[in-house]
Amino acid sequence: METRHNRIAKRSAAGGAVVWLITLLLTTSDSEQTELVHKVVFWAVLVIVPLGLSLFRPDDRRGLALYRLVVFAQPVAALLTVASFFFEKGVLSAALASSWLVLNLLIALLGLLRLTSRGFHRVEELSIVAGLLYLPVAGAWLVVYRLGVQPFGYGEMIILLTAVHFHFAGFATPLIAGMSGRVLAGRDHPRRVFTAVVLAIVAAMPLVAAGITFSPWIGFVGALLLTTGLVLLAVLTVGWVRQAISTRWRVLLLIGAIASCAAMVLACLYAYSLATHTLILTIPTMALTHGLLNAFGFVTCSLVAWSQIAPQKVEQ
């Protein structure tokens, strides 16, 4: 059953979409490429995270109190974070963006509470918890970006894209997989395939990050692993999940499944080009193709669908 706080989270996402449309009229960077990625970040903090939060129903009083705090604090932290992009990089900008990191840490704590109450025996719940626990990584890199420092010699664009990656691939993707698993639970489906999906998605995150730090070949392996997980999830979505859902929202799940496959083919090509030092796709091309397909085609369509399906159809 949908709770009042689930509805508030969805309204926050709707309001965030309106704010995001307003930001399209504003400029935060002299570079068109950077401006595009900034807008994707705004979409993540204003829309994607509250949509993800709308899928939950806490297990106990502690979880409920924390969930209420997170739902009410999210729009404030999101607006402060967006505001940080209209100041020069530095202490003030990073301080404003730090509100998002604090919120992310509270969301991760919500994940830990779910883990202690539900245990490790359900793969779909572990996938959801993983998404909650990965989110602070996105917040931390966003603060680093707004501070204007470049640790480990990373360029500003790599730092910014890492923040984007952990919002969409780190946070939203495991949630989407977990919601699919809830629908499949108790129904006839390839259970080992779903387990492989979750393992691939969750394990790919640190490999992609390690590829940036240590070797592009590690990143390529991570991209292949994530691609495998998302392609298998798309197969399950088309073949089993959609059949178990008799609402009009399942067309969005189909769009998301197709978009995820297309986006990950591009991701693999890009990771391969980095590993082999071969120019196949540039960062601007990736932002316009893979980035938009993943952010709006896969993640947004899937989360909108699950935010409508979950309260009525999915066990919490």
- Whether 58 has a pLDDT exceeding 80, the answer reads no
Least confident range from 6-10, 138-142, 241-245, 293-297: namely 241-245
Q: What is the mean pLDDT of residues 51-55?
A: 94
Domain spans in the chain, listed from the N-terminal domain onward: 4-313
Q: What is the pLDDT of residue 16?
A: 97
Q: What is the pLDDT of residue 155?
A: 86
Least confident range from 77-81, 128-132, 267-271: namely 267-271
- Taking only the tens place, the pLDDT of each residue in 163-182 is 999 999 999 999 999 999 99
More confident position, 2 or 249:
249
Residue 255 to residue 235: CA distance in whole angstroms: 12
- Whether 314 has a pLDDT exceeding 60, the answer reads no
Least confident range from 30-39, 208-217, 248-257: namely 208-217
- Whether 12 has a pLDDT exceeding 80, the answer reads yes
Q: What is the pLDDT of residue 62?
A: 82
CB-CB contact of 172 with 260 (8 Å):
no
Q: What is the pLDDT of residue 210?
A: 78
DSSP sequence for 130-183: HHHHHHHHHHHHHHHHHHT--GGG--HHHHHHHHHHIIIIIIIHHHHHHHHHHH
- Taking only the tens place, the pLDDT of each residue in 73-113 is 999 999 999 999 999 999 999 999 999 999 999 999 999 99
pLDDT band (50, 70, 90) for residue 256: very high
Residue 111 to residue 49: CA distance in whole angstroms: 14
Q: Indicate the angle between helix axes 123-147 and 173-184, nearest 10 degrees.
A: 170
- Whether 257 has a pLDDT exceeding 70, the answer reads yes
Q: What is the pLDDT of residue 316?
A: 53
CB-CB contact of 189 with 236 (8 Å):
yes
| Percent of the chain with pLDDT strictly greater than 90 | 63
Is the torsion defined by CA of 43, 49, 52, 56 positive or negative? negative
Q: What is the mean pLDDT of residues 9-29?
A: 96
Q: What is the pLDDT of residue 96?
A: 98
Amino acid in position 164: V
- Whether 229 has a pLDDT exceeding 90, the answer reads yes
- Whether 66 has a pLDDT exceeding 90, the answer reads yes
More confident position, 280 or 229:
229
- Whether 247 has a pLDDT exceeding 80, the answer reads no
Residue 307 to residue 303: CA distance in whole angstroms: 6
- Whether 233 has a pLDDT exceeding 80, the answer reads yes
Q: What is the pLDDT of residue 37?
A: 94
- Whether 278 has a pLDDT exceeding 90, the answer reads no
Q: What is the pLDDT of residue 228?
A: 93
| Percent of the chain with pLDDT strictly greater than 70 | 96
Q: What is the mean pLDDT of residues 203-212?
A: 83
